[in-house]
A = this chain, B = another copy of it.
């Protein structure tokens, strides 16, 4: 498989594969969710299963049950409170969280000023990842990158500088341990480095001007943020000011979940569906 460099390539890839994923969509009562689903259906890569009704809890449970039984491949949120759907997803007995896994968010962005797709985690779900959760985030982001044909993803562990700061930012010490583990193959095929700041992760000129050496060489495929605040700021700055197109999926579940924000653009919902269908 050739590496997918932009969102259009991703759609073309899905069309050529010609495989329709079944999407259980909960309360698709808003124009942008309908748009995303109909466009995905027209392009030939999904088939929506509309789950609707007066009792939103009941709708959420039914959609999750379709995923659990294998009757649907993807779960998508429409006009329903995120909390309600998350409760159904995380339900111990009837939910779809994989045992021993953590629910986390992987986002993808096509940015005019960046040469390739950029993946990052976590802008939306885990507030402050534990060390174990951070390792799962790396596994997921690496998995998603590989699914898009990136053979050896360059994964940058984000901080505001390149120095380890044990006292104020203990996660920077964890970063060094992660790098050591990565070298033994613990995360599969990928290149991990950090702590790096955003600029030294994504711009080789800045990297050199700062006199820093990194195996990522300013060409990261994926960014791991230390907490949800930094990840969220990145995500929203990109969409507000960076002319970026974005997509996002949840990982850790038995099937891929698309839980867009109400304020996400129709196209962002469409691209998220496409990412889930990969």
Q: Which A residues fall within an 8 A CB radius of B?
A: 111-114, 123, 127-128, 158-161, 165, 168-169, 197-199, 202-203, 206, 209-210, 225-234, 236-244, 261-263
Contacts and interface: CB of A to CB of B under 8 A. Distances in A.
Contact of A198 (B202, B203, B236): B236
B237 A238 contact: yes
Contact of A232 (B168, B197, B227, B232): B197
Given A127-B165, A210-B262, A237 B234 contact: yes
A203 B240 contact: yes
A114 to B, nearest CB: 7
Residue in A197, A198, A225, A243 with the greatest tally of chain B CB atoms within 10 Å: A198
Nearest to A225: B233
Contact of A240 (B198, B226, B261): B198
A160 B113 contact: no
Contacts of A231: 160
A198 B240 CA distance: 9
A263 B158 CA distance: 18
Contacts of A202: 240
Contact of A168 (B128, B198, B236): B128
A236 B230 CA distance: 12
A123 to B, nearest CB: 8
Contacts of A128: 168
Given A168-B128, A206-B263, A263-B209, A242 B237 contact: yes
Contact of A241 (B197, B227, B242): B242
A177 B232 CA distance: 24
Contacts of A233: 158, 160, 198, 225, 230, 233-234, 237
Nearest to A109: B241
Contacts of A160: 123, 228-229, 231-233
Given A198-B237, A226-B229, A237-B234, A210 B263 contact: yes
Contacts of A237: 198, 233-234, 237-238, 241-242
Contact of A113 (B230, B234, B241): B241
A268 to B, nearest CB: 13
A113 B203 contact: no
A111 B202 CA distance: 20
Contacts of A161: 232
Nearest to A227: B229
A197 B242 CA distance: 17
Contacts of A197: 232, 236
A229 to B, nearest CB: 5
Contact of A199 (B226, B229, B244, B263): B263
